[in-house]
Amino acid sequence: MWRRLLAAAITAAMLAPAGQAAGRGTSALTRVDLRWLNRVTFGVDSSAVATYRRLGREKFLDAQLHPPREDPPELRAAIASLGISQKTGEARVFEFRQEQQRINSLPSEDEKQKARMALGQASGQVQYETSRRHLMRAIASPWQLREQMTWFWMNHFSVFSGKGNVRFTLPEYEEDAIRPHALGRFRELVMATVTAPAMLEYLDNAQSSANRINENYARELMELHTLGVSGGPSGSRYTQQDVQELARVLTGLGLALAPQPPRLGPQQAPLYVRRGLFEFNPARHDGRPKTVLGAAIAGKGLDEVDAAVTLLCRQPATARFISTKLATYFVADEPPRGLVDRMARTFEKTDGDIAAVLKTMFLDKEFIASLGYVDAASEPSERATGAARAAKRRASDGVGEFEGRSPSKLKDPMVFVVSSVRLAYEDKTLTNFRPLVGWLAQLGEPLYGRVTPDGYALTESAWTSSGQIVRRFEIARAIGSGNAGLFNNDDNSPGPSTGFPMLTSRFYYDSIEPALSARTRTALGQTNSQQEWNTVLLASPDWMQR
Amino acid sequence: MNLSRRRLLTLALAGAAHPLLPVRGIVSQAFAAPGAGSAKFLLVFLRGGYDAANVVIPVGSPFYYEARPTIAIPRPDPANPLAAIALPQRDGSSNWAMHPALKDTMLPLWTKGQLAFVPFAGTDDLTRSHFETQDSVETGMPVAAPGAAPHNYGSGFLNRLASALDGAAPVSFTDGLPTVMTGKAAVPNVSLKGTGRAPFDARQMAILAGMYEGTRFAPLIAEGFDLRKTVAEQSEMMASGSMAAEMQAANRNAITARGFELEARRMAGLMKDKFNIAFIDVGGWDTHVNQGNAQGQLATLLLSLGQGLAGFAEQMGDAWPHTLVVVISEFGRTFRENGTRGTDHGHGSAYWVLGGALQGGRFAGEEVVVRADSLNQNRDWPVTTEYRAMLGGLFRRIYGLDTTRLDQVFPNAVPRDLGLI
């Protein structure tokens, strides 16, 4: 229930100055509005609709693009009570190492084995709670766009939790490096990842030093994080020489695992930086001059890193690469070129202001066109075309949109799972997130589980193998029949019985039913029970499409 | 003598069952366009880097016993059930032996010549990182010189193989689609781990599929449902009737096949009827701690793997002579045991090759005498047989692939014929 109350509070607060300018008080949302909302959020629900109704499209978007820093109180309290909120990554890593040492000194194999099991469970818990926090926000936060972008950037700057200590530094990686910058300036986002222990360990930069260079991170920083692959469609052109030079710039960035800072001479000491587990150690840094992409890198120590990151982020290739990726995620596997052009221009003009680029995208006419309906709001009625009239007629006939053509891009696993749970349980607070974690794994995209640094592909073919589609239907049933254990206790023992959700809600009749295709209506009509009806709705192409 | 006579019999049977094929049943017709023919190929990936040196054991090497004070397997000794199983070579030498957990399942295949080991096999990738090496093996691209060409994350070599062959029917027996199977060719996937029950009844399937009629997902949904239905029918058949009896006999009356054996038998059932290029992975091989010796962690895994592979061979029945199974892993492990009675990430592995018409019962590829000074980087086994060259050689034999097509599967690889088929 609290999500709805919250929505009311938020709209009330935001609306004070705006008044009734939008004049949309009670009118039903158009299909374009709903589809648009469905992309700005993980999935439309009644609180999003209520807010949108009061604010209108542009103000809704502005609110989403500039959310308050803090989560709403209930969500904040729930997150504060998690184990991961009680400790820093630094403390986790040191405790883990201490415990390992203690285990090694235990006298019997049996005790060792038991202690190791316990330690393994404790580290698994860190990862589960990080997933849980991520999912809690994705499902319940009213600031849906920030949470979507948090997933997007966690995927873009992907780290694998199974490597080394990464699982222990993962909670801070998401909380401090990625999420605060999710709608901020791209350069600052990159800089935050460049100084994040999780990334430095994952891409081996912690192993790289002046006389033992590891190029792994330098290459991925250009290929995957900023410019796009050299010779590729972003127009990126860097050479092996550039990779080597950048690798030298990055030397010295690593993890502070020693209890004391290193002893340094008077030249180097002022350059030393230590923040939690992050360390810049000038003794490991290659101090000789470097040239990246034809530009001399200015400064000393960490300033060099800043200069190089700024240089990379201001390349036109980066603007194009990032804009294309955003549009691939939010619009289509092959997004309209004009749309990407306009996003890239905004990117360059605003020095990589992510919110500005997203605003360009969400309000662009080609974005609106990609929603599959003629937008009555943005087309003057006297210029309404035949197609628009036909679309309106179809709408009034209740004949849906899949007649004779395929639905647009299918939701990715994360969006499918989160949107379905949002729809089914808007009024309830989930207590057990293990089923969701499992579903994402079954659909091939577990959180923090991508082993390679490229992140999960954002194109549909990555999640539409035949086995995965059938699996989706099974997950639709697990959610729709209400016996997935989402309300179990934290130790996974059965919680209070909640029964199955009622998807035939007022919200459904207002916002989903009018746009359903004839085939889906027929299918819903053939079901035998509410649970089956729920399953079919969540498994329908209408619901599955972004 | 007995050995070769038995093999001849197998070959003759293979020829008899498929008169159009050359005597070695598995080899596609010469001169025909490259096609999958009747050949069946299964790749088994042991994820985690299995400890090859305790499976294919250099019992002739004193250094082996020095390097592994607690985890070594004792030298072959018929009186000791915990001793390694001797693997006599054709030349009469017996420097090598097999882990005792494989005695009941793999020794019979070895004796029939249907199993060969390729020790010192692996990749050129020296990162010793699970994920980097698995990824590089699955993509099947040449390992880039440090900093050379950009990574290729686009497709896997079994997908490219399926694209290069006419009549390929690939399948992945996994939850998701693994890298090795991603790419242009459409590959269905289904995990055989579960109960095998059909997820929906016929009425429900019709309702669900009906919604997607005419969309681009319709064929995928049909394929997905079809596969799940086949799996369900199969597991039902296996749970009752003649197949169950057969399996009980094979298991020496253990109640029923479980775990990997059940999965492997289901795989065989599906491959006999429907598929000819298949993939499965088996995890749990990353034995850093307490890996055990003749008994323990690794032994348990091997027991289950051996039962699975033997069950698969048996279940393939008359298709077994046309079947090739290759078992690989991303890397081997350190030759010396570590401080926690386990082994750490290493380099060279030992691959297994199985097939009904294999010229096995022997080691293939170049052998290295195992001594401290023959280790790679004083740490682990070197690689003398690169996996792309080896698989390329096998694919060329069983599918008659020409150089151009082989190059699509494994760019720039030089295929090696190890004389196994």
pLDDT tens-digit series, residues B303-337: 999 999 999 999 999 999 999 999 999 999 999 99
Q: What is the pLDDT of residue A7?
A: 54
Window A:429-458, CB contacts with B under 8 Å: 441-444, 451-452, 454
Tens of pLDDT, residue by residue over A42-74, are: 999 999 999 999 999 999 999 999 999 999 999
Q: Reply yes or no on whether the pLDDT at B31 is more than 60.
A: no
At A421, which amino acid appears? V
Say yes or no: A468 contacts chain B, CB-CB below 8 A: yes
Q: Name the residue in chain B with its Cα closest to that of A517.
A: B211
Q: What pLDDT is stored for residue B3 in this prediction? A: 38
Residue A104 has pLDDT above 60, yes or no: yes
The answer to whether the CB atoms of B211 and A540 lie below 8 A apart is yes
Mean pLDDT for all residues in chain B: 85
Q: Do A452 and B135 touch (CB under 8 A)?
A: yes
Give me the mean pLDDT over the A153-158 stretch: 98
B148–A240 C-beta distance less than 8 A: yes
Q: Do A223 and B224 touch (CB under 8 A)?
A: no
Q: pLDDT band for position A112 (50/70/90)?
A: confident
Residue A354 lies in a domain: no
Comparing A127-141, B62-76, B214-228, B311-325, the range with the smallest average pLDDT is B214-228
Domains and CATH numbers, chain B: 2-8+28-409 (3.40.720)
Residue A374's pLDDT is 63
Instruction: State the pLDDT confidence band at A348, using cuts at 50, 70 and 90.
Output: very high
Q: Does residue A464 form part of some domain? A: yes
Most confident stretch, A338-347, A489-498, A512-521: A338-347
For B280, the 3-state DSSP assignment is: strand
- Of chain B, the percentage scoring pLDDT greater than 90 comes to 62
Domain containing A428 equals 410-546
Cα distance from B143 to chain A (closest Cα, Å)? 14
The percentage of chain A sitting over the pLDDT mark of 70, rounded to a whole number, equals 89
Residue of chain A whose alpha carbon sits nearest to that of B216 = A406
Confirm whether A31 is domain-assigned: no
Q: Quick one: pLDDT band at residue B92, thresholds 50, 70, 90?
A: confident
With a threshold of 0.95, tell me whether the complex ipTM lies above it: no
User: Is it the case that residue A474 has pLDDT exceeding 90?
Assistant: yes
Whether A1 is covered by a domain: the verdict is no
Give tens-digit pLDDT for A241-283. Answer: 999 999 999 999 999 998 889 999 999 999 999 999 999 999 9
How many angstroms separate the first and last alpha carbons of chain A? 26
Residue A249 near residue A296, CB atoms below 8 Å: no
State both tokens at B18: 């498929």
Tell me whether residue A490 is in a domain. yes
* Mean predicted confidence (pLDDT) in B97-119: 97
User: Does A330 map to a domain?
Assistant: no
Q: Answer yes or no: is A251 within a domain.
A: no
pTM as predicted: 0.81
| Beta bridge pairs of residue B175 | none
Residue A1 has pLDDT above 70, yes or no: no
Structure confidence at residue A230 (pLDDT): 87
* Residue A353, SS3 per DSSP: strand
What is the distance in angstroms between the Cα of A527 and the nearest Cα belonging to chain B? 8
Instruction: Provide, for chain B, the percentages of residues in helix, strand and coil under a 3-state DSSP scheme, each rounded to the nearest 5.
Output: 40, 15, 50
Taking CA–CA distances from A214, the nearest residue in chain B reads: B146
Which stretches of B59-201 are DSSP H helices? 62-67, 106-111, 130-139, 157-164
Q: Measure in Å the smallest separation between the Cα of A3 and chain B Cα atoms.
A: 31
The nearest alpha carbon in chain B to A525 belongs to: B207
Residues from chain A that touch B204, judged by Cβ atoms under 8 A, are 532
Task: Give tens-digit pLDDT for B363-405.
Answer: 999 999 999 999 999 999 999 999 999 999 999 999 999 999 9
Q: Where are the alpha helices (DSSP H) in B251-328?
A: 259-273, 297-316
Touching check for A106 and chain B: CB below 8 Å?
Answer: no
Q: State the nearest Cα–Cα gap between A450 and chain B, in angstroms.
A: 9
Gap between the terminal Cα atoms of chain B: 19
Residues 75-104 of A with CB under 8 A from B: 104
Inside any domain, residue A115: no
Q: Which residue of A has its CA nearest to B147?
A: A240
CA atoms within 13 A on the CB side of B362: 18
DSSP-derived 3-state class of residue A461: helix
CA neighbours within 13 Å on the CB side: how many for A165?
28
A534–B contact, CB cutoff 8 A: no
Q: Which long-range contacts (CB under 8 A, 24 or more apart) does A73-80 make?
A: A74/A2, A74/A6, A75/A136, A75/A137, A75/A140, A75/A141, A78/A136, A79/A133, A79/A136, A79/A137
Substitution target from A466, A519, A533, A535 for chain B, most B beta carbons within 10 A: A466
Spatial contact of A308 and A301, defined as CB atoms under 8 Å apart: no
Rounded to a whole number of angstroms, the distance from the CA of A60 to the nearest CA of chain B is 33
Contact yes or no for A541 and B175 at CB 8 A: no
**pLDDT tens per residue across span B241-295:** 555 555 555 544 344 556 899 899 989 989 998 899 999 999 889 888 789 999 9
Residues of chain A in contact with residue B342, where contact means CB-CB under 8 angstroms, are none
Q: What is the mean pLDDT of chain A?
A: 88
- Which pLDDT score is estimated for B346? 93
Number of domains in chain A: 1
